[in-house]
A = this chain, B = another copy of it.
Amino acid sequence: MVKMFVIMAYDVNVERVTKVLHVGRRYLNWVQNSLLEGELTNAQFARLKADLHKIINEEEDSVVFYVLRRQEYLDKQILGLEKGGQTIMI
């Protein structure tokens, strides 16, 4: 099963933050406020987007996905406190 690495960052109306986070955490790992990451298959990614489509307001809310075929392409660094997920400290 081919998986890709997905970064999800959301900027949504405060009324919908809890719902968006709840859906996001069903698929991805929480990193910090408004940010999740993890490995998904194409099917899982499609379901995540479909679930989010049902709860966001397209006129107000924004959910950005960065998708990478392979996690090896990515170097992750954190300044300050590591609030969640696996990472490399610098």
**Residues A13-66 near B (CB distance < 8 A):** 31-35, 49, 52-53, 56-66
Contact B78 A63 (CB under 8 A): yes
* CB within 8 Å for A80 and B61 given contacts A7-B7, A34-B11: yes
Q: What count of chain A residues pass the 8 Å CB interface test?
A: 40
Contact A80 B66 (CB under 8 A): no
Q: Which residues on A are within 8 Å of B, measured CB to CB?
A: 7, 9, 11-12, 31-35, 49, 52-53, 56-70, 73-83, 87, 90
CB-based closest 10 A-B pairs? A11-B32, A73-B73, A63-B79, A11-B33, A67-B75, A65-B77, A61-B80, A58-B80, A62-B81, A9-B35
